[in-house]
Amino acid sequence: MYNLVFSKSFKFNYLVLFIFFAAQLVGGQERPNIIVIMADDLGYAELGSYGQKQIKTPYLDQLASEGMKFSQFYSGSSVCAPARSVLMTGMHTGHTRVRGNFGKGGVVGLAGNKGRVPIKSKDVTVAEVLKTKGYKTGMIGKWGLGEPNTTGEPNKQGFDYFYGFLNQRRAHSYFPEYLWENNKKVILEGNEDQKKTQYTHDLFADKTMSFLDKNHENPFFLYLPICIPHGKYEIPDNGIYSDKEGWTEKQKIYAAMVSKMDETVGRILERLKKLGIEENTYIFFTSDNGAAEVENDWKLFESSGIYRGMKRDPYEGGIRVPLIAWHPKKIKANTSSDQIGYFADFLPTIADLAGVDPIIKVDGVSISSVLHGKGNKIKERYLYWEFYEKKGWRATRFGKWKVIQNNMHKGDQGAIEVYDLENDPSEKYDISSVNSKVLKKAKRIFKEAHVPSEHYAWKYLNKGDIEFYNK
């Protein structure tokens, strides 16, 4: 929708203007705290409130019963880094800086692979937006948008405090030798020499409590992109699943990881209440993409529910994710919404909740009216995704229609699939042959939504790069 290009001077002037306009808004109204929790590779149907039968998630189910559950919400991508870039910048993968885990011109990452593209100084993040309103900002977990000594470091992108992983591939281990705290490497002595005594998720949970304790007297934004339940599948103990008869060891570990994530949500709710700030805090819970596994061991969990596909796919199982929104005073309990939305909506929504006018245009829209039960005031719009791994694909959704074009590395004239999600949510029936009007609109969107990137291109436009993107 928009081609946003900022110079460093523009970003500075923009933020100055932001502060000026923000000061004119919302008078002395108490600004809410905002917490965004994002799981890693959690499937749409892996919470009890979304139909899970085997894995126990009582605290997240409580969050859903006390808040609003969305049924048609999507990630910004079907894989890690671009999903996070969309969430941070409010721009979809046709516009945002990071459109894949690897791109041309990226730096060598901490895991030894080249191609890690950092977001740049001129990219504006939700954390920077909130800082103009006086928010304390923290990020704990997996970042994935900048390596050390690049413009993409969290502390250079609006976060006052950072603890966790910079590089997403290093985050595959739950017992690493080090993490980062702000711009300093913190050695985990309990994991040296292949010992496994410091579990990263437990460290993240403890740092979360510390952040809440230190910042609860002022408005804060806390972004928690946790690593669970991404593989490696490892955990100190299998908890309540240890004696599950007929379960494989992998199934026990996975279920225990999801339940441990749930326990952390319980700790957060308890701490908010103890600090007396639960009635002025929004919590959002989601996942960065669909389930990484849907076959073999994962048949037990039916991780994608009725939806087709998994992580890295353009189908619903790859990009449709849970979204739970909670605020005990402003979001009506036990409500649900079929509002269509995605990660690009986080920035404008959070800015709206904080009383900040973003000034710049983004691809997302605020869904605050939906959260507050004022109905759907969102004009009809389209969602858009493009993806450079595998054979390459792009997709759009508008209204009930989902349109997908695969094999993009071979060219943009390939077959296009059309699905009616209202009547065929499992995407079983391609009805492109009888929907010429839908096809015509989708082709227009594909052309309009994509702005060329210096880091990402389809193979037919840039010969030989498919191997690079498929790392």
Residue spans of the domains in the chain: they are: 8-379, 383-469
Query: Nearest-CA neighbor of 465 among 169, 107, 92, 105?
Result: 105
pLDDT of 17 over the 70 cut: no
Residues 6+ apart with CB under 8 A from 198: 175, 188, 189, 190, 191
Burial pattern 250-277, b for ≥16 Cβ within 10 A else e, equals ebbbbbbbbbbbbbbbeebbebbeebeb
Cα 11 → chain centroid: 24
In this prediction, residue 376 has a pLDDT band, given cuts at 50, 70 and 90, of: low
For residue 164, give both structure tokens: 């966790």
Instruction: Give the pLDDT band (50/70/90) at residue 306.
Output: very high
Q: Which residues contact 448 (CB under 8 A, 6 or more apart)?
A: 1
- At residue 13 the predicted structure's pLDDT band, cuts being 50, 70 and 90, is very low
What are the backbone dihedrals phi and psi of residue 285, each rounded to the nearest 5 degrees, phi first? -125, 130
End-to-end CA distance of the chain: 29
With H, G, I as helix, E, B as strand and everything else as coil, classify residue 150.
coil
Cis ω on the peptide bond leading into residue 142 (within 30° of 0)? no
DSSP string, 233-284: ---S--GGGTT-TT--HHHHHHHHHHHHHHHHHHHHHHHHHHHT-GGGEEEE
pLDDT band at 464 (very low <50, low <70, confident <90, very high): low
Indicate whether 242 pLDDT > 80: yes
Domains 8-379 and 383-469 belong to one CATH topology: no
Query: What's the pLDDT at 2?
Result: 33
Please say whether the beta carbons of 453 and 98 come within 8 A: no
What mean pLDDT value characterizes the chain?
Answer: 92
Report yes or no: 301 and 295 within 8 Å, Cβ to Cβ: no
pLDDT of 247 above 70: yes
Q: How far is CA 334 from CA 12, 24, 70, 208, 271, in A?
A: 42, 35, 11, 26, 22
Does residue 16 register a pLDDT over 60?
Answer: no
Query: Has residue 8 got a pLDDT over 90?
Result: no
Q: Is 293 helix (H, G, I), strand (E, B) or coil?
A: coil
Quote the pLDDT of residue 20. Answer: 38
- pLDDT beyond 80 at 4: no
Tokens linked to 8: 């460093």
Q: How many CB atoms lie within 10 A of CB 463?
A: 8
Looking at CATH, the fold of the domain delimited by 8-379 is given as: Alkaline Phosphatase, subunit A (3.40.720)
Mean pLDDT of the region 274-295: 96
Q: How confident is the model at residue 296 (pLDDT cuts 50, 70, 90)?
A: confident
**What pLDDT was estimated at residue 380?**
86
* Phi, psi at 249, each rounded to 5°: -60, -35
Task: Supply the CATH classification number for the domain 383-469.
Answer: 3.30.1120.10
pLDDT number for residue 179: 98
Percent of the chain scored above 90 by pLDDT?
84
> Given CA atoms 187, 189, 190, 195 in this order, what sign does their dihedral have?
positive
Q: CB neighbours of 261 closer than 8 A, spacing ≥ 6?
A: 39, 42, 201, 226, 228, 229
Residue 15 has pLDDT above 80, yes or no: no
Those residues whose C-beta lies under 8 Å from the C-beta of residue 397, and which sit 6 or more positions away, are 74, 340, 382, 383, 403, 421
Alpha-carbon Rg for the chain in angstroms: 21
Sign of CA dihedral 181, 125, 461, 403: positive
What are the DSSP calls for 35-103, one per residue? Answer: EEEEESS--TT-SGGGT-SSS--HHHHHHHHTSEEESSEE-S-SSHHHHHHHHHHS--TTTSS--SSS-
Structure confidence by residue, pLDDT tens digits, 133-148: 999 999 999 999 999 9
